[in-house]
Amino acid sequence: MTWLATYPGHVSSSVLERPSSPATGPAPLRLGALTVDPAVVLAPMAGITNPAFRTLCREFGAGLYVCEMITTRALVERNEKTLQMVRATPDEADAFSVQLYGVDPATVGRAVEMLVDEGVAGTRPAHVDLNFGCPVPKVTRRGGGSALPWRRVLLRDIVRAAVRAAGDVPVTVKTRIGIDVDHVTYLDAGRIAQDEGAAAITLHGRTADQLYSGTADWAPIARLVEAVDIPVLGNGDIWEADDALRMVAETGCAGVVIGRGCLGRPWLFGDLAAAFAGGTRRALPTLREVAAVMHRHATLLSEEQGERHGCTDFRKHVAWYLKGFSVGSDVRRALAMVSALDELAELLAGIPDQPYPTAVLGGPRGRTSPPRPVALPEGWLADRDDPRPPAGAELPVSGG
């Protein structure tokens, strides 16, 4: 655990030294009274950005670490699983960040009130984000996520309700370019967010029908920067710290939001902090060092969920951590069935150490899928100014 314990302020025993460059990141991001320095945000990911993963990422770098997507209906109804998901860790006391999903302005407003005024999370959030970017069919077919900005009056009413309920807590918005190339929404969404008092907006450089396929288009991020006065954060295809520097340089965005790029690589946040400060070193952990991070991750999950459930939850991370390493299929299968920390430690100890596989740098991580038409409620595209949420649109559970 030496490398993990000493990484903040130090460098891994294996590093990639980038050529000297004057490129640095943007200034610290200010969201109301909250300062995010460096201007790096962990994107909410279902089943991933739980307290354990947020803690692990925070141990490597600084930024804002957002919890899994919380459904407003489930929160208002005090669903027990949702109440567990919305709790902060001790080290998040001053910067607890919550992302909410909802399609009904009244329900969204009530959920924000509960977080801000009642302290249902145990910690008053420092930041609330509204999800208008999720492309998952079970969300869009109810008019939520990346489908919702098409209904611009409904979008306005939701943002207005959240901002009013939040008081001095900054509210931000996350969205995509649009439903598809024929139904582009990001410029309207940006103007509405600004007019209704949102502190910032994040734009993922894909349409909903692209899901996570192809290459993110950063040009709309630059256009949105020109169109609004509030900070714009860029999201999409940031696999390395230098991708973040390039996005900032090309778009003028005020910060970056990191999703799939940190899967199996929580040290990316250390690289981002170094890059944004003008540093040129990037971590290249050996397999032994990666194994230490894997065990730490599983330990945090076990502390949170109990050892058996924590190790079971960790299984999905194994392939991401070992991407590119030479590890036998039998060992990979055993790791993907691990149910105890000692078992995990023994399996990891039996793998010969090896340098980081640089061939995987800059490549996509996590889920990919081919483009497909977006599932929408019947008649959803007919009237952009219809303020009514679809019947039965609110999801009863959280997590995406």
Catalytic positions: 134
Whether the CB-CB separation of 172 and 202 falls below 8 Å is answered with yes
Ramachandran class of 385: left when φ > 0, alpha when ψ lies in -120 to 50, beta otherwise: alpha
Q: Phi and psi dihedrals of 148, rounded to 5?
A: -65, -40
By the 10 Å C-beta count (0-12 exposed, 13-18 middle, 19+ buried), 343 is classed as middle
209-238 b/e with 16+ CB inside 10 Å = b? bbbbeeebebebbbbbbeebebbbbbbbbb
Segments in 69-166 forming alpha helices (H): 72-76, 80-85, 105-113, 137-140, 152-166
Q: Where are the beta strands (DSSP E) in 92-247?
A: 97-101, 127-132, 171-176, 178-180, 183-184, 200-204, 232-235
Token reading at 317? 């991370």
Measured CA to CA, the distance from residue 185 to residue 93 in angstroms comes to: 35
Task: Note the maximum CA span of the chain.
Answer: 61
Measured CA to CA, the distance from residue 357 to residue 348 in angstroms comes to: 17
Distances (CA, A) of 167 to 95, 107, 204, 327: 16, 16, 27, 52
Token reading at 76? 């208002």
| Percent of residues in the chain assigned helix, strand, coil, to nearest 5 | 40, 15, 45
Ramachandran class of 152: left when φ > 0, alpha when ψ lies in -120 to 50, beta otherwise: alpha
Cβ neighbors of 388 (< 8 A, separation 6 or more) are 154
Whether the CB-CB separation of 247 and 234 falls below 8 Å is answered with yes
